């Protein structure tokens, strides 16, 4: 039996849905951010269909940049910024996990349960991080712009990925 070293379909779909959700969320506020998010979504999916961590990472970075663009120029509120940032982080995390599953187990393995558990855990961590960020924002609403909160969240994501 040959093993195809590509991500399982469930992992591709999970990351694609997360990326698409992030692009739509920011696109509702700013069409330019939506376009940037759409390009990021295409790169995320492309990085999974033809397994490339570099392309996947570039797509996730474009999704994060779309959130910054929506917050900076589109006037996105805190909720939109946090939802877009969490969606970008979840898309990247699920994509990385799917590529790892493909390398280790192959595409033929039924990884639906594994992907579902990883998705639930990733969304839970994102929801807690967004909740903490929103609480910090609520406690420190001394006229700080929403962009400062987005940069704070981007820094937290960068720190978490560096620790990983």
Highest mean pLDDT among 33-47, 73-87, 104-118: 33-47
CB proximity list for 60: less than 8 A, separation 6 or greater: 19, 40, 44, 88, 89, 91, 92, 95
13-70 pLDDT, tens per residue?
A: 999 999 999 999 999 999 999 999 999 999 999 999 999 999 999 999 999 999 999 9
Instruction: Kindly indicate the confidence band of residue 146, based on its pLDDT and cuts at 50, 70 and 90.
Output: low
pTM (2 d.p.): 0.82
How sure is the predictor about 141, in pLDDT bands with cuts at 50, 70 and 90? low
Domain ranges of the chain: 9-163
What would the DSSP string read from start to end of 12-58?
A: HHHHHHHHHHHHHHHHTT-HHHHHHHHHHHHHHHHHHHTT-HHHHHH
């Amino acid at each position: 039996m040959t093993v195809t070293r590509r991500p399982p379909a469930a992992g591709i779909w999970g990351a694609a849905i997360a990326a698409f959700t992030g692009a739509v969320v920011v696109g509702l506020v700013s069409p330019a951010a939506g376009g940037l998010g759409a390009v990021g979504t295409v790169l995320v999916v492309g990085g999974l269909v033809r397994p490339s961590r570099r392309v996947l990472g570039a797509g996730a970075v474009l999704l994060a940049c779309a959130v910054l663009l929506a917050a900076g120029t589109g006037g996105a509120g805190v909720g939109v910024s946090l939802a877009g940032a969490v969606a970008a982080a979840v898309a990247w995390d699920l994509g990385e996990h799917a590529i790892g599953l493909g390398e280790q187990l192959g595409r033929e393995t039924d990884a639906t349960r594994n992907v579902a558990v990883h998705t639930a855990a990733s969304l839970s961590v994102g929801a807690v991080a967004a909740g903490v960020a929103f609480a910090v924002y609520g406690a420190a609403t001394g006229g700080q712009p929403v962009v400062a909160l987005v940069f704070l969240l981007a820094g937290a994501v960068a720190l978490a990925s560096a620790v990983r």
